[in-house]
């Protein structure tokens, strides 16, 4: 599945627009990760534990979007965008969406 943040794919023509596809993932923190992150907050530095959690969340959301596109018969998703939000204290949602298309 080809994913593009642009609305076009260089050298390819959109043959058919199939519609909006999306995927999301909600992740929560855990006590161990919070303790380590709390220590990093005191001394400074990248919070790798949370960065890794968000990477996993993006991967899960992207896979869900790709599966939805496959079910529509798409071979690409264009205009891909990511959004994040806090659902409640200690949780984070990653949403990915785009337009499923068939390319010529």
What is the domain partition of the chain in residue ranges?
Answer: 2-103
Residue with tokens 């496959």: 70
Q: Model confidence over 42-87: pLDDT tens digits? A: 666 666 777 788 889 999 999 999 999 999 999 999 999 999 887 7
CATH number of 2-103: 3.30.110.70
Q: Decide which of 8 and 87 is more confident.
A: 8
Please, are residues 74 and 22 in contact by the beta-carbon 8 Å criterion?
no
Residue 12 per-residue DSSP state: -
Q: CA 12, 13, 15, 21: dihedral to nearest 10 degrees?
A: 70
Helical spans, DSSP H, in 1-104: 31-43, 48-71
Asked whether the predicted pLDDT for residue 34 surpasses 70, the reply is no
Q: Model confidence over 18-31: pLDDT tens digits? A: 999 999 999 876 65
Residue with tokens 């018969």: 73
| Proportion of the chain above pLDDT 90, given as a percent | 59
């Amino acid at each position: 599945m080809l994913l593009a943040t642009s609305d076009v794919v260089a050298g390819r023509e959109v043959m058919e627009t199939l519609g909006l596809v999306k995927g999301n993932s909600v992740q929560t923190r855990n006590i161990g990760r919070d303790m380590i992150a709390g220590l990093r907050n005191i001394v400074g530095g990248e919070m790798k534990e949370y960065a890794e959690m968000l990477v996993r969340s993006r991967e899960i959301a992207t896979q869900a979007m790709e599966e939805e596109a496959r079910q529509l018969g798409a071979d690409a998703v264009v205009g891909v965008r990511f959004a994040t939000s806090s659902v409640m204290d200690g949780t984070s949602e990653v949403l990915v969406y785009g337009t499923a298309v068939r390319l010529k």
